[in-house]
Amino acid sequence: MWIYEKKLEHPIRVTCPDVKFAKLVITQYGGPDGELSASLRYLNQRYSMPTDKAKALLTDIGTEELAHMEMIAALVYKLTQGADCEDFKEAGWGGQFVQHDCSLFWSDANGIPWSAKYIASLGDPITDLTEDMAAEQKARTTYEHLIACTDDPCVKSSLRFLWQREVVHFQRFGETLNDVQEWMAKSHVWTGHKCGCE
């Protein structure tokens, strides 16, 4: 189904390690509005989409979100490169070091582990696509907050790339929502059931 190209979608560079900022950016790895939640949401919802175009879009964006998760992982690793227990403790992230060392774990900036409650799939294409648009806006806002929290120009560049992709995904979901609504109107389908009236 997928072809894996062994390079990041966009290069990840940091000026210098910054464990405090790594503690913040981890939320886009395993937080409620992060890349894991997005990829699982879209790759699951594609099965209940009524058109091939909608299924393809959810597959494409869900796959790209996996690539974004990989980018966030690379960013966190570079921000924590060479860090020891004292660096993690100073950043207020000592629990991360004790439980995982420099290994990544799906959690938010407060250390709360990822949960399936972060994603939704109701099987109604209009509801799910609207949920997807909201998810992209929440991710966009989170990236804006992260950009505001760092002075590293290299990190800002990577985060801006991810921010731009959230904007594009929101637009694509909006277009797909319009297409699906039009398809449902033409097919006399609403709320997931065929209408018996003309």
Domain residues for the domain of 142 are 19-187
Q: What is the pLDDT of residue 198?
A: 47
Any domain includes 112: yes
Residues flagged as binding site for Ca(2+): 60
Residues flagged as binding site: 35, 60, 65, 68, 136, 169
Residues flagged as binding site for Mn(2+): 35, 65, 68, 136, 169
Instruction: Tally the domains of the chain.
Output: 1
Residues, the chain? 198
Any domain includes 12: no
Q: What is the pLDDT of residues 15-49, one digit of tens each?
A: 999 999 999 999 999 999 999 999 999 999 999 99
With a pLDDT cut of 90, the percent of the chain lying above it is 86
Q: What is the pLDDT of residue 87?
A: 96
- As a whole number, mean pLDDT of residues 111-125 equals 94
Which has the higher per-residue pLDDT, 3 or 169?
Answer: 169
Assign 192 a pLDDT band (cuts: 50, 70, 90): low
Token pair 């099965």 is found at 47
Any domain includes 10: no
Q: What is the pLDDT of residue 195?
A: 52
